[in-house]
Amino acid sequence: MRKFFQEIKADLKFKTAGPGQKLSEPSRVPKEKPRADVAPKPRQGPTDEAQMAAAAALSRMELKAKAKAPSSQDAIKNQVRKELMAEAAASEKRLSPEEKDLALPEDRRAASSVSGVYFICPLTGEIVRKDKKEQHLREAIRAYFSVDPVAASIMEIHTFNRDRDRVRLGVETMAKYLDNIYLHPEEEKYQKIKLQNKVFQERISCLEGIHKFFQAVGFETKTLPVPGQEPTEEEYYVLKEEMLTRLEDLKDYKEQLLSSEPLRAQLDRQLCLFKPSPSAARFELPSDFYNLTAEEIKREQRLRTEAVEKASMLRTRAMREKEEQREMRKYSHTLLRVRFPDGYILQGTFHARESLSVLYSFVREALRDDWLPFELLGPGGLKLTDENLAFNECGLVPSALLTLTWDAAVMADIEAAGEEQPASLLKPELLSRVQTLE
């Protein structure tokens, strides 16, 4: 059976084309595996010597793992989680029953198609709702100060200051301060920074997290007399004397500051598989999917009831394009369902501005054999061939039901082989968690 599938994959380059390609172009299916022209020899079990060598290697790896300091990503996440547990336990008592249900992991929530938009925190691995995302990130970064105060302060600077140009200017100025100390350690003037300095106030002091950074890298605040203006005194950041023996650390801090990026929570796809259902085209979405307030959502619902009247009016092309642009900006996320030929429904959450290629990859990852060619049809049977288009450009927001169709020639070849086929081409682990769509 495996050999037969390999032959089918080899023929795909000539029989099929990916979405948006002509038949003469190369197929977008993965490269074929080398064909086995000679029957493989039976596998021999490992020799006694090989088994002994493997056991020794495994023993060495285990010893190394025990000796290694707990600096791995998992250890960091565990440490941050510990810092957050006390706060979470205290706040849980104040949650309403509805909020407690939303705080549960997805597999413990009440069965429903979707209850909101959720994100995965890169520091803790926790899944949090959209409206709690920034608060959770702040708490996670604050907890991370116990692990690495310098890295945590840099996260604050890059993550919570929205004006990227201002961040860039401030970071470059701070890097210059550290560079001067590193290059001229004997110059005392570079070891202190006047807080009321105009450049410091305009470029640096306005940034969130900046003062935590200076404290973390070895500065302390001191009130010093202003040269030539005694007895006038002003506040300064003064580098601790011990840091002059750790100049390489200052250089590393500067590089971290310049190279870091904002900490972004990853969208949780909330992958679900549903049994065949007549309710597949019915969507009830929470407000998380809109870039609107509650009042604006109500107004939009009222406007939808007037859509029939507007459709009958004569409108210029410019008017239509203006309305389309407005519609595109209205939604932040979209809930998409893909119905397979056997009736199963695959569901996921996406950013409204993500491209169709993301959806094609999402579907392939759910298949037993990701090389099987398929097409996706949008509402009305329209073929979605341009994978570079965004969902909001295709009218697939804030929700849509799509249909998957297999390549007819390939499926005919598989059927003609007469081999026993699985009941579904979806992965067994997905089928084991299939739900009923309410």
| Residue ranges of domains in the chain | 118-266, 327-436
Residue 88 pLDDT greater than 80, yes or no: no
Dihedral pair phi/psi, residue 150, rounded to 5°? -65, -50
Look at residue 163 in the predicted model and tell me its pLDDT.
93
How much is the average pLDDT of 369-390? 93
DSSP string across 24-48: TSPP-SPPPPPP-SSPPPPPPPPPH
pLDDT of residue 416: 85
Query: Band of the pLDDT at 232, cuts 50, 70, 90?
Result: confident
- Average pLDDT over the chain, rounded to an integer: 79
Say yes or no: do domains 118-266 and 327-436 share a fold. Answer: no
How far is it, in rounded angstroms, from Cα 239 to Cα 237?
Answer: 7
Listed range (28-37, 302-311, 319-328, 398-407) with the worst mean pLDDT:
28-37
> What is d(CA 52, CA 337) in angstroms, rounded to the nearest whole number?
52
pLDDT, average across residues 149-169: 96
User: CATH number of the domain at 118-266, please?
Assistant: 1.20.58.2190
- Which of 161, 155, 175, 144 has its CA nearest to residue 252? 175
Q: What is the pLDDT of residues 53-81, one digit of tens each?
A: 554 444 444 434 433 444 456 666 666 66
Q: How confident is the model at residue 93 (pLDDT cuts 50, 70, 90)?
A: very low
pLDDT for 301 equals 63
Return the structure tokens found at 232: 């006038």
Judge whether residue 89 has pLDDT over 90. Answer: no
Task: Say yes or no to pLDDT of 267 above 50.
Answer: yes
pLDDT at position 109: 38
Of the chain, the percentage scoring pLDDT greater than 90 comes to 53
pLDDT at 84: 63
Return the CATH number of the domain spanning residue range 327-436.
3.10.20.90
For the question of whether the overall pTM of this predicted structure is more than 0.95, the answer is no
